[in-house]
């Protein structure tokens, strides 16, 4: 199993601990959104200004990109094994490390977005606090939940 599959499986494991209704959809949607942000940042650096589009085209582009990336995950990655099957191949000790790797990916994605769209770096501090806070809160809730069992 490659590193990307391990990171995706770890994210699924932690999302399934707190989102018991639709962890699969939540995991793939979260990852698809961050991939879309990277695509938009890359387009911006290549000279395509997304902000010049009308609101309708902008919305269609954003939603369409997320849906296409979601379908790519579904077709190519999930066709072989389910996320639950992949979790059995990973040691529980390493799941947290892989989830922290995804947090690093999220932070780098946001840094790339801020750079590409020339957003004030002071705001990046709040984004970092938010993403790290959500991740730590998520892990602490799961640890407390596991200890109570």
> What's the pLDDT band for 115 if we cut at 50, 70, 90?
very high
More confident residue, 20 or 133: 133
Percent of the chain at pLDDT > 90 equals 30
User: How many CB atoms lie under 10 A from the CB of residue 12?
Assistant: 24
pLDDT of res. 35: 92
Per the rule left: phi > 0, alpha: psi between -120 and 50, beta: everything else, 90 is beta
Single pTM value for the model: 0.83
23-36: per-residue pLDDT in tens?
888 888 889 999 99
Q: Where are the domains of the chain?
A: 3-148
Give the C-alpha separation, 125 to 122, whole Å: 6
End-to-end CA distance of the chain: 31
């Amino acid at each position: 199993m490659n590193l990307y599959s391990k990171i995706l499986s770890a994210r699924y494991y932690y999302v399934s601990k707190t989102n018991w209704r639709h962890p699969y959809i939540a995991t793939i949607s979260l990852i698809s959104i961050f991939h879309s942000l990277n695509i938009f940042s890359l387009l911006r650096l290549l000279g395509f200004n997304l902000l010049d589009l009308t609101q309708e085209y902008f919305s269609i582009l954003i939603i369409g990109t997320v849906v296409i990336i979601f379908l790519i995950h579904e077709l190519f990655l999930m066709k072989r094994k389910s996320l639950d099957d992949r979790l059995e191949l990973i040691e529980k000790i390493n799941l947290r490390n892989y989830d922290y790797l995804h947090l690093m990916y999220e932070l780098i994605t946001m840094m790339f977005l801020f750079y590409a769209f020339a957003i004030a770096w002071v705001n990046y501090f709040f984004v970092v606090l938010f993403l790290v806070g959500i991740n730590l809160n998520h892990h602490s809730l799961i640890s407390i939940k596991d200890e109570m069992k």
